[in-house]
Structure 1
Amino acid sequence: MKNLLNLHQNKLKMNLQMFTDEVPLFELVAAPEMATYWTEKTLEQAPYLGEVLFPNNKQLGMELAWFIGQTGAPKALQPSALDAAAIPRDRADFEKLVTDMFFFKESKYIDEKLRQELLKVMQSGNQGYIDAVMNKIFADVVELINGASVTREIMRMQLLTTGKINVSGNGQDYSLDYGMKESHKGHVKVSWTDSDNSDPVDDIETAMDTIEADTGERPTRAIFNSVVLRQLRNSKKIGLNLYPNGAGNIRVSKADVIKYLQDELELEAVVYSKLYTDENGNSKKFVSDNILALLPAGELGSTWFGTTPEEADLMASNIANVSIVDTGVAVTTTNKVDPVNVDTKVSMMSLPSFEQIEKVFILNTIAKA
């Protein structure tokens, strides 16, 4: 890690020196430099949960298609007499889903005023000041690329916890219903906020039974945020099961709940309470309150990337620099003449597929009115 960062810092310092020798600013902050900076930056970061459940994949174009297969418990082979013809078995039905991926883009630029400030900084020879200004420029681009990562996680978590995707902004409204069975969405019998009377384990088991009966596969994982975790910790029935002789005097811990779900239901629980900032500057949770998602082992689908216009039309041209990061996010830098500035644009064509949707149950921890 340190070697990679040192290499980039040395390269950046070399480029800064070249800049003082009249190398254009455009070459200093071109797309390849930005892409290298981001790639090294991501080595320090843990992936989003959705990146594990829906790993990245890429295809040409913008149309996305995937199949949902008919599922169910294994069916026994039919008995037959010797020398008799085999009895044909119908093939399982597959539903093909086809849609266009969603397109996202945003940009930032270095304007004439900032360029003049850079010139003054370079002439000062103050390396600390130079590094601070350049780090700010690169951080602006990282903010855009990170925004693309956040958008993908929003879509994945919406899909996992609602069966739908709804993304709005910049006058655009993207909406897609993945057709999750209504029988695979449900409410608990008694709201878990009623810690004295609710029975979370029974509610979860009922949902797991539904998925197993429909698909032949029992969920092995549960995802929820800290609000649901608190409801589970406060549950009187869970407390009594854990500490039958003193539940009223013992505070059930997070570790207690995680272990209990594993021991009692063979469920691996993941508490996911990460936040993001929406376009209005408000903090929001990737996983909504009062939702518990039950899912099978393994990957649930893929995070697909299509070909952006920048990658398709500008990558081989000499009018812009284009680099690809995170499998399919295009970073494009363009040198504009009037006014003189360097425009950096981040764009992506992306949408998750959900091949395992039939094996997921979305449980609302508030009872239906």
Structure 2
Amino acid sequence: MIVIAPDSYKGTMSATEVCDIIKKEFLKLNTLEKVKCFPIADGGEGTVDAMLFNGGEKFIVKIKGPLFDEAEAFYGILPDNTAVIEMAAASGLPMVGAKKNPLLTTTYGTGQLIRDALDKGCKKILIGLGGSATNDGGIGCAAALGAKFLDSDGNSVQLNGSGLAKITDINLTKLDKRLANVEIEALCDVVSPLYGENGAAYVFAPQKGADRSTVKILDDGLKNLAEVTKNIIDKDNSQIEGAGAAGGLGFGLISFLGARLVKGAPAVLKATGFENAAKNADLVITGEGCMDNQSLLGKAPAEVASLSGDTPVVAIVGMSRVTDMSGSNIRRIYVTDHGQRPFEQILKECRNDLAAAANRVAYDFYNGMI
């Protein structure tokens, strides 16, 4: 059995497309070969589709978009009734276009997706934290599930970045009781704390439309949220690595919904049954657009290799900058690159290049050279 588990080739091919191309090349040489595909995602765009690749169902839900506009968003439910949500599908940067402004955007729609998953009886929910348009500390998401964020007059604040500094009290008595019996994992490869010079506002808000003064307003607001939250739950989660992910949604999910922050790629691989398949395979193939020494230390291909047991692992990559493979479980790297070419040419030829490299892997495997 051949197991294929690539990451996307950024800017050219999705992980699912890479799987299909490699699989076809193996079946050309051995039509009876059993091939299983596990496209990798890290919690960002494409996570739902990658995790539904081997089964499950996608649902469309009417929600409030990042600017409280009427919108539709999707999420998936796996065969074991685990829900998979991309927060960007409900509260993402592409949804706001030229209107990006982290003072005004909200994660409310993400909370609505969580609520829909609860309505469908899901007992485990995975939430990808990539691609947000928001910097609301997760208050919008929590409010969609019943939390109240109040100002000094006892009124609800605006559920966006501008409301953070006005919060003086948080009421969690109406928070959806079903959350107590659900396991929530937030998929996150960001290590930023909630606030401070390495926090959500200073590191990520400029990408979401914030100027220097807005960044300061947002950071002060997130600090205020952390202080009020600490008084309510008697715990300070603001400096946890990943608390600042998705404009502080990481913090909100931990503090109000009881979530755990986990690394994206390992969680996806675990949820899809990759490890068991890999350990029973004859060969595992991974890959990504550009592989370097860092890729071998902790990025998706390294996770694939570490979970594959004694099964041989090879990588097919667009470009390799690897200079040291010591300590890596990846036996061999196959490169599709043909030297310096304009990006337009790479885009045009990448699928044929990948197919040719996959054919070389298949030939080497069936001739005992791997």
Q: Same fold (TM over 0.5)?
A: no
Where relative contact order (Cα < 8 A, 6+ residues apart) is larger, the structure is 1
Greater Cα radius of gyration, structure 1 or 2: 1
